[in-house]
Amino acid sequence: MGQFRPFGRAAGGRLSRPLHLGHRLAASQHAGRNSRRRPYRRHDPARRPDGRAAAQAARCQSGAALLVGLDPLARPAWAALSGPQAHLAEINGRARRFRYDVNAIIACEDDGAKAVADQFALLAPGERVFAVQVADIPDVPGLTTVLCRPAVQMILEESEAGFEAEVDFELLGEDDVDAMLELAELTQPGPFRRETCRVGQFIGLRREGRLVAMAGERMRIPGYCEVSGVCTHPDARGEGLASRLSAYKAREILARGEIPFLHAWQDNCAAIRIYERLGFRIARQMNVTVFERPVVAK
């Protein structure tokens, strides 16, 4: 999903060796106390729950929520910011947003007048933020509506896509923030700020020292994790890098027992077809609105 201005930041370290798509990594060498390496561990069914079984359990839990009208994916940002990512939230009454340095996404508990109005105070003058939900998004008193655009939410329950070609990529960390910002600014993958990568793990591919593709995680909801920040440098497009990185991230999420989901503009047919080849299916139509708080002239 594109945007007006991206931003971003990462945490963690670079892998001790490249990852190969479609394969789990053996535990890397034990790192010293000050090492930034974050070893991956090979999937061990005896130590980790089966991804499909865990995904089925999450679906059942989600289905129970649907029966009582509490579908978390209908208002995903609120579900994330009032749940697993509450520590990343700024709060005003019944409205929440990711901290300014983390992401430009805002949400309110419901569409009542009080909750909608509470969003105003969470924006700095001149700032733009995104709101995404199933229901029509009401205007916020005092904010300018810059964009209203339909999107789709796609969900992957099982990954059968067979991407066997190896792609050497690395875990992105603090040293990669500037490169990630540069790539996000160029490709407009969605709201992205200096601390965006603190919300989840990002992976990327470099060529001749330049970051040319990346994919990561954004909103976390009980039982679900969003694949986001997927982008490829124009010089490296047409090679399937974004889809391969997305496939790897989706499989990682499934292996943790969570269900991957993502958002795409409704008219971005090319991206939707790519995600469908990975096993994603359109689950619902979404509304996206970009709000801006005007700068008051002195």
| pLDDT tens for the chain, residues 1 to 298 | 643 333 333 334 444 334 444 333 333 333 333 334 333 333 333 334 455 554 554 444 444 343 334 699 999 999 999 999 999 999 999 999 999 999 999 999 999 999 999 999 999 999 999 999 999 999 999 999 999 999 999 999 765 554 444 567 899 988 899 999 999 999 988 889 999 988 889 999 999 999 999 999 999 999 999 999 999 999 999 999 989 999 999 999 999 999 999 999 999 999 999 999 999 999 999 999 999 999 988 7
Compute φ and ψ for 121, nearest 5 degrees. Answer: -70, -10
Model-level pTM?
A: 0.75
CATH homologous superfamily of 170-283 equals Gcn5-related N-acetyltransferase (GNAT) (3.40.630.30)
User: Taking a C-beta distance cutoff of 8 angstroms, is the pair 179, 211 a contact?
Assistant: yes
- Report d(CA 61, CA 224) in Å as an integer: 11
Task: Report which of 2, 10, 1, 61 is spatially closest to residue 193, judged by C-alpha positions.
Answer: 10
d(CA 229, CA 172): 12
Residue ranges of the domains in the chain? 76-152, 170-283
**Residues 187, 233 contacting (CB under 8 angstroms):** yes
> CA angle 266-150-79, nearest 5°?
105
